[in-house]
């Protein structure tokens, strides 16, 4: 099968980045990939989670963001661009990535599974974009691990990615704890306001 010029350029980009010897601080830590740009609304949760925890998105490898922690985002189809998927997975570790978040929809949601096999032993967190994708994403055989979240929960997938990274980076543990404390504070504030206003008024003002 003939590759398109766009796919060829991306494969060349991945391979070139794999050959560079860049410091860890200048390479993306998390890779977010999805099978189609139609999955972006669902996968946007991963972007939100990482951004909230202080990660910045890499859009130019020659001009990395100032943040110590960063991520990259690509559309890669397991079925339409298998060679691109292989190139991405095979070069992920050499390009400095430590964990991947992969989302795909439909009943044949193979991108997370295949990427986990190709990028092994790099951890991959699968995101079923739809409920019907769940069985495909979690159906990996023994010996070929893939961590997965519930359908549509890309925000949680990104949080899990940061949890993995935090074992080597205490400052990320601090950020995760601060985020969790914020959630607790939010629940406490809502509970107090519900009690103060009463159910009917709280519902009206919510």
Strand, helix or coil for residue 163:
helix
Is pLDDT at 101 greater than 70 in this prediction? yes
- Domain with 198, as residue range(s), is 170-206
Residues 6+ apart with CB under 8 A from 186: none
Q: How confident is the model at residue 138 (pLDDT cuts 50, 70, 90)?
A: confident
Residue identified by tokens 């992969």 is 102
What's the CATH number where 11 sits? 3.40.50.1970
36 carries a ligand binding annotation? yes
Q: How confident is the model over 152-174, as a mean pLDDT?
A: 97
176 and 164 share one domain: no
68 and 155 share one domain: yes
204 and 139 share one domain: no
101 and 197 share one domain: no
80 carries a ligand binding annotation? yes
Q: What is the pTM for the complete model shown?
A: 0.92
Beta strands in 17-113 (DSSP E): 30-34, 56-57, 70-75, 99-104
CB 162 within 8 A of CB 176: yes
Is pLDDT at 107 greater than 70 in this prediction? yes
110 and 123 share one domain: yes
The CA-atom distances, in angstroms, between 85 and each of 48, 78, 90, 187 are: 24, 6, 8, 41
The CA-atom distances, in angstroms, between 30 and each of 55, 95, 196 are: 9, 11, 43
CB 162 within 8 A of CB 53: yes
62 carries a ligand binding annotation? no
**Number of compact structural domains in the chain:** 2
Q: How confident is the model over 131-135, as a mean pLDDT?
A: 90
Is pLDDT at 1 greater than 70 in this prediction? no
Rounded to the nearest 10°, the torsion over CA 146, 115, 17, 13 is: -150
């Amino acid at each position: 099968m003939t590759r398109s010029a766009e796919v060829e350029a991306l494969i060349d980009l991945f391979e070139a980045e794999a050959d560079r010897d860049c410091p860890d601080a200048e390479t993306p830590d998390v890779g977010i990939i999805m099978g189609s740009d139609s999955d972006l609304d669902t996968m946007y949760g991963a972007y939100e989670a990482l951004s909230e925890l202080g990660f910045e998105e890499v859009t130019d490898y020659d001009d990395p963001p100032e943040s110590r922690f960063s991520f990259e985002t690509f559309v890669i189809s397991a079925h339409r661009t298998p060679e691109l998927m292989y190139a991405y997975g095979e070069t992920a570790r050499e390009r400095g990535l430590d964990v991947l978040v992969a989302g795909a929809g439909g009943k044949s949601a193979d991108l997370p599974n295949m990427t986990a096999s190709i990028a092994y032993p790099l951890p991959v967190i699968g995101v079923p974009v739809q409920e019907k994708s769940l069985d495909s994403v979690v159906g990996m055989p023994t010996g070929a691990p893939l961590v997965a979240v519930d359908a549509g929960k890309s925000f949680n997938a990104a949080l899990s990615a940061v949890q993995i990274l935090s074992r080597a980076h205490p400052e990320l543990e601090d950020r995760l704890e601060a985020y969790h404390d914020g959630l607790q504070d939010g629940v406490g504030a809502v509970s107090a306001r519900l009690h103060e206003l009463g159910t009917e008024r709280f519902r009206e003002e919510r």
